[in-house]
């Protein structure tokens, strides 16, 4: 479903046939963030979480002159303090050569409108501390950096270690 359209830019819901394009954009993002070596995902797994029986991930695709140039990938979370669902924005990416055309802002605006339609209490995401351009972009929109929170990650390869530490 098309969420936004003008003479050059189209923002729409990702469809199953977009998986190869979306996965290519994800890999471009990983390369930009210098994290390519950490990508172990594949198209089949992405299709399963987006369009399988127990799907829970959604994405928006941005096109410029009918060419895919960016995406926003998100899913619901829940705040016990707010008492409402929210969105976690896992990735927001626009190809470097397409930045400055308002595409990222349109992707985020559509996500905000969707959050409002679904009565969500907030949208959260993480940004690499060296990505000053993204930080400036988010703060210009009114997003607030949560300096008092430290993000932790427990990866699958450490699950058994964590369980055996009892």
Q: Which residue has the tokens 């928006």?
A: 60
**DSSP-based three-state secondary structure for 20:** helix
Q: Indicate if the alpha-carbon torsion angle 6, 90, 138, 120 is positive or negative.
A: positive
For residues 76 and 123, give the distance between their C-alpha atoms in angstroms, rounded to a whole number: 9
Q: What share of the chain is helix, strand, coil (3-state, %, to 5)?
A: 40, 25, 35
From 4, 64, 88, 138, active-site residue: 138
138 given a catalytic annotation: yes
Catalytically active residues, by annotation: 138
């Amino acid at each position: 479903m098309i969420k936004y359209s003008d003479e050059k830019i189209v923002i729409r819901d990702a469809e199953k046939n977009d998986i190869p394009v979306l996965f290519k954009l994800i890999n471009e993002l990983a390369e930009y963030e210098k994290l390519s070596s950490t990508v172990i995902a594949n198209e089949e797994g992405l299709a399963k979480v987006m369009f399988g029986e127990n799907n829970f991930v959604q994405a928006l695709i941005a096109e410029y002159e009918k060419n895919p140039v960016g995406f926003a990938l998100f899913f619901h979370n829940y705040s016990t303090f707010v008492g409402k669902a929210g969105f976690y924005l896992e990735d927001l990416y626009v190809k470097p050569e397409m930045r400055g055309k308002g595409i990222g802002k349109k992707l985020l605006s559509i996500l905000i409108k969707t959050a409002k339609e679904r009565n969500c209490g907030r949208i959260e995401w993480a940004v690499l501390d060296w990505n000053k351009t993204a930080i400036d972009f988010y703060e210009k929109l009114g997003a607030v950096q949560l300096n008092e929170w430290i993000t932790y990650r427990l990866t699958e390869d450490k699950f058994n270690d964590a369980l055996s530490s009892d």
